[in-house]
Each structure stands twice: as structure tokens, then as C-alpha cells.
Structure 1
Amino acid sequence: MDTTSLDSIGLAAFDPGQWEDGANTLDVGDTRISLRTLADSATLTLSHDDAAGTDALVTATADGTVTLRLDVPLGDAAGFWHPDAGWERTLPADWSAWRGLSLVRSAPVGCLYDTAGRSLLALATDRTVQETWIRFGVSEERKRFGVWLRLSLAAGQTCRLRIPAPGTTMAAALRRLRQWLACLPDGEPLPVPEFARTPVYSTWYAFTQDMTAAEVEEEAALAAVLGCGQLFLDDGWQLHGNGRGYAGCGDWQPDPVKFPDFRAHIRTVRQTGLRYTAWIAPLLLGEHSSAYQAWAPYAPHYVPHLDCHILDPRHAEVRAHIADTCRTLVDKYQLDGLKIDFLDEAMTYAAAPAPDQPAPGYTPDVGEAMAALLADIRDALRALRGDQFVIELRQPYTGPAMTALGNALRATDCPADPVANRIRTLDIALLSPGGAVHSDMLMWDPQATPESVARHFHGALNSVPQISTRLTRLSPNHRDTLAFWLATWRRLAPVLTSGHYEPGRPDELFPQVTATCENQRVITNYTDKVVPLPTEAWRSLSLINASTASRMVLDVSGPRRRVCVQTYDAQGRLQQATALLLTPGIHTIEVPPSGLCVLDGSVMNQCGLSTKESPDRVR
């Protein structure tokens, strides 16, 4: 029997009894599901559907804490994926730490996969809002992999677990789970306006906090010409927004020196064709703000590295104050949306005791409190803008439940790191049932080669790219490179962001990503990896060489097919246009580093060559 409460979980304490089967233990194929409770305070039942998989339902018969374990044989397991994996993508041991989950911290979803990238055990629960704990790892003694979920349930409450059938790719298993999650109560994704899917110009890495209205307007004009559709004004626009730290946060008024007429400035930017979204971190309360005195009693926790306090969203008064602040900011300055930051700081109150006499509306669970807060913000913006607004949220609060509350989900900060940008955007997209997935802002060395600039862009390919460099200072080579890849992205966006990806194994950092949409396909090679190339089921195929190699190796299968081939270098300069006969077997085609190769099977005469020609550059 389990006598451990949620509050007493040790972050790395090994539980010798965690592999003991509870009174409720059931098998589904190779998967064992075991429920441990205090005094048999919950029941476990299973239901199965050949198409959907297996549902495990835990029903509490009394108030208490339950622990649910799922375990499978190790087989050829290579790693365990979960939304907050970061760089940990292999197999931890079963004495690894418990992890806290809630609406604003990851999600109760995971997938154990093998060396072929196939799912061995995929799972998700409907407990996407409330605080939950998860742990997973390999048993040295049993040669099995286990996943433990621990949660508190009141009498009559349930927790449903969905387990799709194993054997599909990891991405396919997660697609099934995200469809199920989108159908949960209050899980319907928020509509995404068309402009939210257009490239973004962000001020953060370009200016950090040192900006003026005139400088931002100058950058906005160039961003619009290059093909951006949105401007995100980041930290630094607000009063006291200078220097690292957030001691001045809380008032959310524009700095009169930087932005003497904030509304006129926004109007000027919007006249370029860009929509305008502003940054806000509404939970942060700094001691230098005028709001501090009134709201300090509701913000007892101080974070030294942020140099500010955190408002406790469990209080109804705090939620009402923040929602009104956001509504007023959007209404007064005619903003098109809000970039809402530092929401994960709310988890500091996950283990905090409730006040002795809480006011009406107090919500003890942090996840439920944040859901209520974000719903209030969403509804306030919807009353002002209909569905034509953006609420941007960033990792780690980009779980599937968040798509009902925000419609732009961004990778967490990874300055000048295209590998991290690739991994984080794909992690979000694999699980998100809605919303526009956004990259972290792109920045690079001003002296970088065009190939290096292109590789930064390639890290954001399967998401909405956010650009954050001083466009007025770009060299001609960098401007040409950026313009080419922005234009290429806009042309391929329906494929790149459709949500149907096969990225391969997470522990290999997604080295080759195949995206498909209708009769178009885009394959991006991040390493010099052989590209499987069936000749059927596509009209247009784009091969992106996001590596330093100067060729791409194709493993062609299917019927012989003639196509038009055009290759471009990193700056978009045409290198060759030729006809190619695709035949089964291994072929090598010259593609410059950070370049693009387009295969068109519909209009051969665009090549300007006879279809009988067989170019030497393709072997």
C-alpha cells in the first residue's frame, strides 16, 4: 500500500516498493498497468478499441493519493520522449527524480521508442491542468521500463489514461494522442488568425531592452518588405524596463522616453502591414513598481535571479487584476496580441500552504488557478478582437491543454542555437493539437557566412520563424540569404507547418525531417544522411541541405520518373536547372551546403532541357 503524500515526495528518493504490483494490476499485451493506493481508495478498469488503443480509468472511492505504474519489457528501447525532455532523450534509471507537472509545466505525456524509432509504450492522461507528478526509468533488476504517475483524487474523481497500440512511429503515436487530447472537455484549440502564421520580427535579440520608437519603426518597415507579417515588441518597452532583472515590473505602462506616444507608434508600425504584439510578464511584481505596495501581500515569494516577487494566481483578486491589466493594455493601445512570459513561475506556489482564511474564489491547485486566469485573459481579448488576436506562450507551458488558452506556442530561449531551436519547435509540434508553433528568435554573428545564416533559419523551418537581428545593419549577403529563405518558407509553409512530420529518433536530435501535405513533400537533412526517396505520392519535392555537405544522397524507390531539378545555394542563387530520370537505387546529387534542391514532376519544359538528358551531376 502507498502511504506517501504528494507533499512528501523526495525529488530523487528511490522507492524500493515502486515495482510491487498493487491490488489493481492488469495486463494489456506486453504492458502491465498497476494501481497503488492507500486503503484501496481507488479502482482501475480498462476498455479497448482497436483503432484508438486502450483506456485505463482510475476512479477514486475516497480522498487520497494514487500511484499508477505502466511498465513494458525493455526490448530494443533507445529513449523516452516527453514534452520537457530538453537534452535528456535516452533512458534514465528508475531512481531518477520525480517531476512536477501542471498546466504551466510540461504535460503528462510520454513515449518509449526503439532503435527504429517505433513506439514501445506511448501514453497520455486527461489530467493536463491539475498538479501531477511523473517519474520514469529502467529497472536494473527487472530489465523493464516503467512510468509512474502520482496524483491526488477526491472521492468520485477520475483520471483517464490513453495508451495507443505500439508499433507505429513515435510521431504517429503522438499524433493519435494529441487528437484525443483535443477532444477532452475544454480542450478545443483556440482559433489561429491567418496573420499569426506569418513570420515575426522580434525586438529582443536585436535590441534587448535598448530601443526607441523610431528605431523599431525603421526595422518594421524593412521586416514588412522581407515578408514578415507581425512585430513582437519584447521586454524593455515598459516603465523601468532597463537592465537585467525585473525589479520594475508591475505597472505595465510604456516608457515615456523610449515611446513618448505609444499608440501612435503602434499605428505607424501597423501601417507597414505588420500586426503588433507586446510582451508582458503579468505574474512578476518588482519592488520599484508603484503597484508593489498594493499587491505585495499577494506575492510572498521572491526570486533572487529575477529580482522580483511572484504574484500568487490562486487568489481570485490576483487573477482579476492580471486579466484587467491585459485587457486594458490591448484596448488602450490597440494591440493585436500579447506575448505572455514567465507563467511557469506560478509553480513556486505548488507546495505552498493555503491561507488560513482564503477569500472567495481562492483556488488551491496552481494548474487550475492558471487555467482560470488564462481563460479570463483569452475571453477578455476575444471580447475586444473576436478571434483576430494572438496569445503567445512559451515552453515549458506549451502542453496540449494550453492550445485552448493560447494560439502561438514558442520554443524557449536558445540564442544562436539552431539545433536547440529545431528540437524544441518539433517537440511542441509533435504534441500540439492546435496553435501556431513559433521558433525562438533567430540571431547570428554579423560576420557569419551566408551558409551559417541559412543554418540558423533551418533550425526554425517547421515552425513560424521569428527574426531578431538589426535589419538596417545587415550585409548584402545576409539580406539576400534571409530574403531567400523567408520567401522559401512562405512558399512551403503549408507543408512545413501542417503538423504531419516524421522527424526520426529524438535521441539523434531529429537529423532528418520529412513533412508532407497533400501532394507536396519537404525533406530536410541536418546531417549528411541518406534520403529515402519514393518516386510516388508527390508532385513537388523540396530537399533542404541543412548540413555542411555539398551533396545529398538519395535512395530512390518506386517506378522510374522524370523530373525537373533546380538547385540553389544558401543565398538563393540558381546553381543548375536540369532534367533528371529517377530510377531505383542510390543517386548522388550536388546541393551546396545550406542549399535547396527542388524536384518538380509536373512541368518538365521549365527545365529548358530535353527529358532524355542525363546530367553528369546526378549519379
Structure 2
Amino acid sequence: MKKLLSVGQFNICLEGEELPGSLLYGLSTRNEGDVLFIDLLIKAELPTVFPPCRLDVSCDLNDMHSLWTPCLHGHPKSIRNKGIPEIWTNFSSHISHVSPVGCFYNVQGQNKVAFAFSDIKNIVRVHAGAYEEETAAKIIMHLFSTPTEPMTEYRATLRLDVADVNYHQAISGLSRWHETLMDSSQMPVPAPAMEPVYSTWYAFHQQLSQDGIEQQCKIAAEMGCKTIILDDGWQTDDSNRGYKYCGDWEVSANRFPDMAAHVKRVQAMGMKYMLWLSVPFVGRGCRVWQDFESNLLFYSEKNQTGTLDPRYPKVREFLVGTYTRLVQEYNLDGLKLDFIDEFDMSFATGTALEPDKDRDTESLPEAVDRLMMAVRKSLQAINSDILIEFRQRYIGSMIRKYGNIFRVHDCPHDSITNRAGIMDLRLFSGDTAVHSDMFIWSETDTVESASLQFINTLFSVPQISPNLGTLPDEHLQMCRHWLSFWKEHKQVLLQGELRSCYPEMHYPIIESQLGIEKVITLHAAMICDIFTNKEESITVVNGAMVERICIKTSINVLANISVFNCLGKKVCDLPEVELTGIKEIPVPKSGYLKIEKSNI
């Protein structure tokens, strides 16, 4: 079966296998301004496992120089950040992975074609890139590559936006459209989700102790951190960083002799308390292993760990009951729920690929939705402001229903990857709180270099993870300063209008404006345009490790300028400076300028 349409600049093809009996394929289009909607309908008279099919859209590859996607996408031998890959490469989208979206844009950052598919629950193989045989840009949605439950009808829509707007505006439009498809059922974001976090992971990994954590919290709270995430290690005496002992989720009495009292003491310091859990894993070293060894999606002999299959009601009941028990027993403020992207049928083996009467659904996406909504509802019944964190890659549109914190994927010491991940998340995550990956740095590094960990993450909620008890005094001073700086500019950084140029270069200039106040971060020795949008107070942060900032104005402005170093110490004042055209100002590495428009 093949259906062809040509609408404006787009050639559209729907291809699918024929089955014995009646299987009806429908394809239609509609326009709303600059947006083309392609509607797909597949119908069967009787419940049917639909065969694989593909929706293929192509257009001339004109004035398209990069492709934004929510994950790394392309061939490993030729991959570049935000590159346009060969069309045969693809990424997988489903409920516990990224969303089926992307945006072709040009060097000037203008949108050319932004696309989003409506099926954000089931597995969709997304191909987007260059089709060299036709010098065309192609977008392909491969459907039903993994068998689904029998159905009689499937409806989906591909949204194509060709509006002449900046890429970030087009991507935000995709996010808003997905919100409407979910009836705006995103999990509410309480105020604590927008406060700095101390994470134990990079500093201690599984080497945790009750007294040691309280000592860290005392320093972190004094610095301005409002939440602690106790990561892996609290549930086991083993420190080999595996998951063999995940599953019972009982506190190690050796590491935390009185967990309830410990949590209470930390909360008395003014900090919320969150606990890490690995959602899908159950290890052979756990007491519950025998209860669930027949309810697995797959098993890793190397790790001696299985991945639970949430299509079994008993699995969902166990996980929901476990999280409810922990939150109630220890009066927790939130959970960090890890590895839900392992709920993936492409990993399934053995009996997980065969029907089983003990399951109440054969659809893994449906089971994940049931599980995560049950987790959300049960925890909100205990605490309406419960905090739930997920991380890249499981940051698709539907995940916003189950959590209120999205964190950048692990990138220890790599502040540039942190910055790029933050911006990718900010562009497509709506009002969900976006957190940096918890960051760490060498205690022997200069404060100017270490400051880049903060500078590159300013437009997120910072998560820090050094051993605060061993940091040199100057590093502690640096931490205090940047957390204070973030707090001072928090509203602009998180709630202002966010813009950035050159995402293909890892967003080298980022700015956010709220009212008359603007904050700009420079991550390369580039010229920064200021006074472009009625701002009167500007902070320009030097994240390029050079000793100057170059600013440019297209109008004549009289301004008062102050120069600061990375510890917040004022270096000098430059009163009533006439700004016109390009001006270079000496600024310490990792320092910043404060520019106030003069009223004279």
C-alpha cells in the first residue's frame, strides 16, 4: 500500500503492508497559518496487530544548515552537534525516552521546518536528515516496528511548522502542542524544585555515612543549597557500583543507623531531602529476587541484574508500594527515579516476547504510563509538593506528567556538555524545572577554571556535588559567590525570555531578559550585542577564559559599568562610559560586567 500527496513544498508518502482482510489507510492534510498538519488513520474491522508502516515527508534542502533534535542523532563516524545526518540514521522515541521532534534551521538560527509527531507514547523510529539521492531534507516516522497490542484504529498527526521565526520559538511551539495533546496534565512544579541542590553522587558515589552526609549538608545549607539528593549507596553495604543489591530498598543500618532521625536533622537545616532509586532493576543479591525472577523484560548476567516488566500488576504494585513506604517512613520530600529508559521492548528477550495471562496489558508503553501515574498519585496523596526527578534521556513529553524536575545526563567535569544539555532541556521542557547535572571539579584547579562549572549552568537550577569538607577556602568562597549570584538573578535566569545563537556550537552566547533586566553569558571570545530590546540593566558573564569582553551597541548609550572577578570582588568602576559600536573592556577570567544605563 502506498499513498502519495504533494502539499506546498512537501512531498508526502504513506507506505504500509497489506494484510488479509480489510485494513484501511487514510492520509489527509490541513493548514493553520504556517503549520501543516498531516493526519494519519489506520483502521481494521477486527482487533489486529498492525504491520510496520512509515510516514515519509521530504522537501528541498534549501537554506538548512543544522538540525536540532532532543538527543544525539547521527552516524558515529560523521556526527557533529546538531548536524544533518544521512537519512538512514534514526533515534527511538517512546514514553520513557525522547520525544519525536526536531527542527531544521539555518546559520542565522531561523527555523526552516520544525516537526513533531503526536504519538509520544508508543515506539516510533524517527529518521530526520539528508536524502542525498534527491538533495532533499527528509522526515520519516517508522511505526509499529515493534509489535503492539491488537487494535482496530490508530490515529496520529505529524505537525510541520515553516514559520520564519527563531529556532527556539519554533521548538517551544512543538512543546506547547504536545502539552495540548496531554490536556495540560503536566505535574505541578513546587517552589522547592527551583532551588539549588547538593548531590552526594560525584563526591562519594556509594561511600556514604550518616554523619558524613550531615556534615556536607551543614556546609551546603550555609551556601544556599535547599535540597539534598542522597544517591546510590544508602540501600547497600556493597560499594562496587553495580545493581546486584537493588530491589529490596531497605536502608543500610551500617551506613545510616537511624535514617528517620537523620532526615529530620537535615530538614531542620532548611533542606529538602530526596532519595535515589533505580526503578527497573532487581538484583540477584536481593531478597525479593525470587518473587520477580519470572517477571523480567531481560536479565544481565554480567551485572547479575534483571529489568522488571511493569506489564505485570504485581510489579507495579511492588514499586508503588515501595516508594510510598519510603516517603512515609522517612518523611521524604522527593525521589530521584533513575533508569526508566530501560523499559524498552527493543531490549526484551525470552518469555518477555511471548503473551502471558498474568499481565494485564501486552503494551509496555501502556504499562509504564500506568506505573508512573500510580507513583505520582500515591506520592502526591502523601505530599502534594512531592519532588520527582528524571534525567536525560527519559525526558520526553509524557514524562512531564510523572515528574517536575528534569536533569541533564551525567557529564562529570564537562561543563560544556552540561551547558548544551541545559539549553536542549530548557527549549522543550516548558515549565518543568530544568536542573544541571550535578557538577564537580578538581580541588587543585584555579578558581577561574572551576567557576566555569557554575557559569555554564547559570540558566538552570544548579546541582553541585563536590566534597565540601575538603575544598580549599578559596573554592568555598567561589561556591558561595556563584550560588549567591544565581540567587540574585534567579528570576531573570529561569523566568526571562531565553535566547541563544548557534546551538550547533553548543550555544556559545546565551541571554535571558525579564523586564528591563538582562543576563548574558559568553562562552567563546565573541562580540556580544547589548541594549537590543529596551533593557536598562545588563550583566555580562565572561565564560570564555579570556581577559576581556567585547560588547557592541547599535545605538549611542551612556552607561555606568562595574567589573567583578569570579569571587564577586569589584575590580573597578567605569562611570558614564559612552557606548557606541564595538568596545572591548578588560574583565578577569570568569568575571563579569554590570552595565547600568545612565539616566543623565
User: With structure 2 as the length reference, what TM-score do the two structures score?
Assistant: 0.92
Residue aligning to 1:24: 4
The alpha-carbon distance between structure 1 residues 49 and 499, as it changes in their structure 2 partners (threshold 3 A), is farther
**Which one of the candidate residues 36, 55, 62 is aligned to 1:75?**
62
Question: Which of these residues, 293, 296, 305, is aligned with residue 293 of structure 2?
Answer: 296
Alpha carbons of structure 1 residues 35 and 99: separation in structure 2 relative to 1, 3 Å: same
Aligned pair partner of 2:72 in 85, 97, 103: 85
Task: Letter of the 2:43 partner, please give it.
Answer: T
State the Cα deviation string for residues 505-532 of structure 1 (Å, max 9, x = none): 2221111112122322111110011111
Among 61, 74, 83, the alignment partner of 2:43 is 61
Hey, what's the Cα distance between the residues in 2 that align with 1:337 and 1:418?
26
Matched-pair contact (CA < 8 Å) for 1:131–1:350: no
Please give the secondary structure, in 2, of the residue aligned with 1:327: helix
The offset of 1:48, in angstroms, is: 1.5
Q: How far has the Cα of 1:538 moved from its partner?
A: 1.2
State the Cα deviation string for residues 218-248 of structure 1 (Å, max 9, x = none): 1101111101110000001113442121101
Kindly report structure 1 stretches of 4+ aligned residues shifted beyond 4 Å: 348-354
Q: List per-residue Cα deviations over 1:54-95 (Å, max 9, x = no partner).
A: 222111133443311122211232221111127642121123
Q: Is the 8 A contact 1:439 1:460 kept in 2?
A: yes
| 2:383 alignment partner in structure 1 | 385
Q: CA separation in 1, counterparts of 2:193 and 2:428? A: 19
CA distance in 2 between counterparts of 1:257 and 1:512 reads: 48
Deviation per CA, 1:554-609: give whole Å up to 9, x if none: 12023x3333212111111111122244443111122211111111237x7xxxxx
Q: Deviations over 1:9-38 (max 9, x none)?
A: xxxxxxxxxxxxx423232x3233322223
Task: Tell me if 1:573 matches 2:569.
Answer: yes
Change (3 A) 1:35 1:517: farther
Query: Residue type matched to 2:88 in 1?
Result: W
Aligned to 2:77: none
Q: Does 1:49 align with 2:32?
A: yes
Contact 1:189 1:433 in 2 (8 A): no
Select 2:99's aligned residue among 99, 107, 110: 107
Secondary structure at the residue paired with 1:177? Answer: helix
What corresponds to 1:38 in structure 2?
17
Letter in 1 for 2:256: F
Aligned residue number for residue 287 of structure 1? 284
Match of 2:47 in 1: none
Question: One-letter code of the match for 2:12?
Answer: I
Question: Paired residue for 1:8?
Answer: none
Cα–Cα, structure 1 residues 459 and 360, in superposed 2: closer, same or farther, change >3 Å?
same
Instruction: Show the 5 A alignment for 1:388-537.
Output: 388-498=385-495, 500-534=497-531, 536-537=533-534
CA RMSD of aligned residues (A): 1.9
SS of structure 1 residue aligned to 2:549 = strand
Which residue of 1 is the match for residue 171 of structure 2? 174
1:268-312 Cα distance to aligned partner (Å, 9 max, x none): 000000000000002111001111011111125123564411101
Counterpart of 1:7 in structure 2 is: none
Distance 1:34 1:112 in 2: 20
3-state SS of the aligned residue for 2:153? Answer: coil
Q: 83-92 or 524-533: which moved more?
A: 83-92
- Any conservation in 2 of the 1:235–1:241 contact (CA below 8 Å)? no
Q: Tell me, yes or no, if the aligned pair for 2:561 and 2:577 is still in contact at 8 Å.
A: no
Question: In the superposition, relative to structure 1, how do residues 510 and 305 fare at CA in structure 2: closer, same or farther (>3 Å)?
Answer: farther
Q: Quick check: 1:562–1:579 contact (8 Å CA) kept in 2?
A: no
C-alpha deviation, 1:201, in angstroms: 0.4
Q: Relative to structure 1, is the Cα distance of residues 593 and 280 closer, same or farther in structure 2, using a 3 angstrom cutoff?
A: same
Structure 1 unaligned regions, length at least 5: 2-21, 605-610, 612-619
- Report Cα offsets for 1:157-201 as digits up to 9, x if no partner: 210222222321111100111111111135432111111100000
1:343 to 2:343 alignment: no
Q: Secondary structure at the match of 2:244?
A: coil
Deviates more, 1:421-430 or 1:232-241: 232-241
> Aligned pair in 2 of structure 1 residues 536, 247: CA closer, same or farther (>3 Å)?
closer
* Residues 227 and 274 in structure 2, CA contact (< 8 A), matched pair in contact too: yes
CA contact (8 A) 1:393 1:408 kept: yes
Query: 3-state DSSP class of the match of 2:82?
Result: coil
Residues of 2 paired with 1:360 and 1:307: CA distance? 24
Code of the residue aligned with 1:55 in structure 2: it is F
Unmatched runs of 5 consecutive residues or more in structure 2: 45-49, 74-79
**Structure 1 position 231 matched with structure 2 position 223:** no
Give secondary structure in 1 for the equivalent of 2:127. strand
**Residues 172 and 70 of structure 1, relative CA distance in 2, 3 Å threshold:** same
Contact 1:301 1:348 in 2 (8 A): no
Q: Secondary structure at the match of 1:600?
A: strand
Structure 1 contact 131–366 (Cα < 8 Å) conserved = no
What corresponds to 1:367 in structure 2? 365
